[in-house]
Structure 1
Amino acid sequence: EQGGAAEFEAGQFMEIQVPGSDARRAYSLANNTNWNGDLEFFITLRPGGAFSTYLESALVGDRLNIRGPLGTCTLRENGLRPRWFIGGGTGLVPLLSMLRRMADWGEMLPARLYFGARYEDELFCQEEIRQIQEKLPQLQVKICLSRPGNHWMDYRGSVVDALRDDLGSLAALPDLYVCGSTRLVQGVTELALNQGLPDSCLQFERFLSA
């Protein structure tokens, strides 16, 4: 980090080299491009993971070798077409970057965010989502739990279930931005194509454990 601007497209990721080895791990950027050189990541700590093990003893001021930006799952300019963002687990992170870009640029396109997890304690970034909603009042948010507790008040079911419910009553086709596991991407892709959405409406990024 040389103190220069952080220039990247919302939705892109960086590869971080694990200190002391040649291994690299890919992590999506959560923030928007900025002049301060800030790069924001949300990283799931995995027992025995190469980068997770490093983070256990990492210190403020450590230097990291970072390569990027990489990735092509970025926002498209398609006139006034609605944008629907679908994420599972850490697949939410690049979607946050896209939504923050929309908020910073004052884009008032119709937008929806579908964020899915199994259990309520797996949810994160709820405050960040609320802050984005304050800047994007048109943003509709649906939090989906496939294994909800008795007191869960939002959507009870998977993200794909929620999407199926909502795609059936559309007047205008949305662009879909899908980030998450291979299973999620496949499920949303099959559903979208069955509902008549063309390939051109789909942007996706698969997240693999490492």
Structure 2
Amino acid sequence: MDCTKVGKLIASLRKEKHMTQKALAEAMHLSDRTISKWERGLGCPDVTLLRSLSELLGVNVEQILAGDLSPNEKDGGNMKKIKFYACPQCGNVVWSTGEAELSCCGRKLAALEVQKADEGHEVEIEEVEDDYYITINHEMTKAHFISFIAYVRYDRVLIVKLYPEQNAEVRFPKMSKGNIYAYCTQHGLIKLK
């Protein structure tokens, strides 16, 4: 941990939030000299203060300790690069169009790897009125079920969250060209169409 880099990061984040050293110090119940010391690289925040500092400045503790935010390259929101994330503990579902550092339930989430559909995950797509009616022949027990089905187009994502003991079926509005993904809690992310 480089105190100079950490101090420069704290100073730049504080200024982004339009806070003075005194305002940050008061919010953390410290003296403004302590904040000044950190920003000049003459010391680093105590471990017990990192969580409140990260909340006030709006960054992860890891980034504060590294002294660098390392922003992602702009991707222009290209849906071809979409990534899905699912928390194995609580079942939260998140998606991004670029690199993202996500965590849930205290654990970092890795992007789900896309697999091709196999015999256990056959999909049936019917046109019903102005919708696609999608059914997957899959068990829906608490231990093994389809958690979500997503319809991805060049400009939007439609996600339907599914739960155990309901049927693995959804309806999406009829739109041209798109990919359909399903997330099985045991077999991962599957590209259906």
* Interval containing the TM-score (normalised by the shorter chain): under 0.3
Greater radius of gyration (CA): 2
More strand by proportion, 1 or 2?
Answer: 2
TM-score (norm 2): 0.24
Higher relative contact order (CA 8 A, sep 6+): 1
